Structure 1
């Protein structure tokens, strides 16, 4: 019985962890998501990020499909060479995370 309980628990944890993982959205799907109103245009999202860190340079960005919606994740390098991670709700532009990269 213990073995069965352990297996069930492991399976449940694996399933739950899988739900929490994000999936990268291919670049060619982004225009359709914008057209369908599911996300804001990336130019608009980049403007939000740049208002948080004027003069910074975007070094990397990606759009992820989370179980609860789309998230735009941006890495920046500011004028002082400090790296920042900024995450936005891609549908609303709400800032979800704005922190120095460790």
Structure 2
């Protein structure tokens, strides 16, 4: 995935909720690019390599950068090669998969 594609995905972010326990705040494209430039979060392309290792050949369907209880998280929806849609949450700082479940 190239930078332009990642930027377009980030454009799909919607307005978020106020930061409060149990709520997530969506970050907009400008905020995401600033965090990346400052080295606070991983480049999206690099982060997606973690997904590719867990689900080789999968297709990215949707991605959002959120702040959940003070933690920057990419919420990613993928389609696996077996046709299953999975929702993953990845730590935006280091790419660790925090949540991995089949999407309903």
Structure whose alpha-carbon radius of gyration is higher: 1
Aligned to 2:63: 61
TM-score by length of 2: 0.75
Deviation at 1:33, TM superposition (A): 0.1
Aligned to 2:12: none
Aligned to 1:10: none
Q: How many equivalent pairs are there? A: 86
Runs of 4+ in 1 over 6 A off after TM superposition: none
Question: What 5-or-longer segments of structure 1 have no aligned partner?
Answer: 1-16
Task: Select the structure that is richer in helix.
Answer: 1
Q: What do you get for the CA RMSD once the two structures are aligned?
A: 1.5
The C-alpha deviation readout for 1:1-41, integer Å capped at 9, x for no partner, is xxxxxxxxxxxxxxxx9332111110122121012121111
Question: What 5-or-longer segments of structure 2 have no aligned partner?
Answer: 1-18
The C-alpha deviation readout for 1:36-89, integer Å capped at 9, x for no partner, is 121111111111111111111000000001222200110011122101111111
